[in-house]
Structure 1
Amino acid sequence: MNVISKPKITVVTAVYNKEKLIHKCVESVLNQSFTDFEYILVDDQSPDNCPEICEDYAKKDSRIKVIHRENGGHALAVNSGILQGIGDYYFIVDADDYLSDKNCFSEMIEIAEENDCDIVLSDFLGVWNNKNKPKKLIFDGIEVMEYLIKEDIYHPTTRSRLWKKTILNKNNLFKNLICDDEEWTPKAFYRAKKVCILPKPIYFRTTPEDSVTQIATEKNYFKKAFDKGFTTGVLINFFEKTSISTLQKRVLYKRFISLYLSSLHIYANIITNNQLKSELFVVLDENKHILKYSKFYDSSRHHLIAWIMRYFGLKGALLFFKVFIR
């Protein structure tokens, strides 16, 4: 196969400790009917046989490029692939996931180029049905977030989506957070002038027990809570400076505040280590002002939490979570 000098799509997969799953992932990409892509496999100093597996694939297919880097986490590994890519569009696949449709790239590129889309979404988790299926297939970025959140099918994932390179350039790279896409994706949607939808599932997601997001240790719970508390503040500070309407904020902020409330729950009911509690309290305290937007909820419980925070402070809200919300 000839080397492609300027591919249409750059596909990026960060690889770490996935030797049992990486074959299915890579094969699902290589078997696409659309072939005008480069595939960047980023070995994040994986301790298993993944580095050798990646190199073997590169020897067999000239579209594959392997990057070996010092271990720094999933987000930074994806960043390495993005920075090395030269495609007009980008598609990110996790090493433990795979594409379930061989026409995924061809259909997405056709939609993107016919409509000059910045982002093409697919049905990530197979949750669209006749009741919540979108009534139109072209939105602006904030519109599509509103639709997904209202239908309770919003997921901040960067996977299963085709991103125009200009959106990646405008939106900067990922931060090294467990929930890196919670902050990145809403900002990308905001910057997108046009988002198109491919209303079919094309991406199969797996959740291995050894995934950092699945391991139920106190340290991982702390990391999730810390990142979510921090991210909520960043998102609301960002959108407060935009010109989106109050009605749009009402929808988006309910989603963002849910991240902060999740952090309160983890602090009150899961974290027991005093050092971790102290560090988490700092980030929660720095962002407690965002609970004033609980007024956007229709729930009396959320209004009560905001009232408690206003008159009894963060410690009062945490006590409420410990006693009444488990």
Structure 2
Amino acid sequence: MRSLRIMLLAGALAGLTTAGALAAGSGGGTGMAMPSASAPAYDPAEEYAKAVASIQAKDYKAAARAAQRVTDAAPTNVDGWRLLGVAQAGAQNWKGARKAYERAVKLSPDDLPSRAGLGMALANLKDPKAQEQLAWLRAKAADCGAGCDAAALQSLTAEVEKALAGGTAAGQPSAALEGGSLLFAAAGDRAYVQAVGLINEKRYDEALASLDAARAAFGPHPDILTYQGYAWRKKGRFDRAEGYYRQALAIAPAHRGATEYYGELKVERGDVAGARLMLAALDRICAYGCAEAEELRRWIDAGGEPGL
């Protein structure tokens, strides 16, 4: 893989919201801006931002409409379902919240906010299955080792216990659940820049944590999804990597970075025919040629990463 480099624009003031371009062929594909400023013409990241803004304004019905569009466009993205759950809970639509959180838990069984959100929704519906989610959270807290966020677990567990004790009062949505969604763009951009730097250093576990933070701010942005695929691929988890590449391409079919890296993954799996299909797609996208197409061509010709 070519070196992934970030050049920060001089004069950036509040954080890194004006941070600049990824090197050619990076996850961003066209890459001249941070995820807060760049996205396909129509994409779920834009609707995600609308939903977050509506939650901040306490307009939960508008938030639910925008979050629903996120899940319609990116049905396998856990962030959209979690955000929809927050919006529906804020609107006191507990059946809608339960459905959204159930989908989130199905996609990511270890996602703490989704487990807590589901527990709260079930508690407010007087469903005894809420106890199962509380028991799950308590078990996680009891086994909270290195890398575990004990404070978050404690807060989320307390929210479910409160809901079971008497339900959530109207107009009083969960601060613990909302908090994870109300990230500013600057914080998301910082997490994104940090993730790319960590990938350069081959610190993939830390990079994935930063990418999760960026995705919580921006939702299913194809640049972020592409880098998540790359990090999982470098960890040897080709199945996880493919899932992220497919998500990115479902949102932005002409995304050069995702197309190139998915082709490289196919080469690594021995699927040369599949890699050639990705190369053909890049040749269509890049009418006058591009670095991504040339790099994938080298991978195919070399039968793996060139130079190894």
Q: Which has the higher strand share?
A: 1
Pick 1 or 2: higher relative contact order, CA cutoff 8 A, min separation 6: 2
TM-score under structure 1 length normalisation: 0.28
Q: Which has the higher helix share?
A: 2
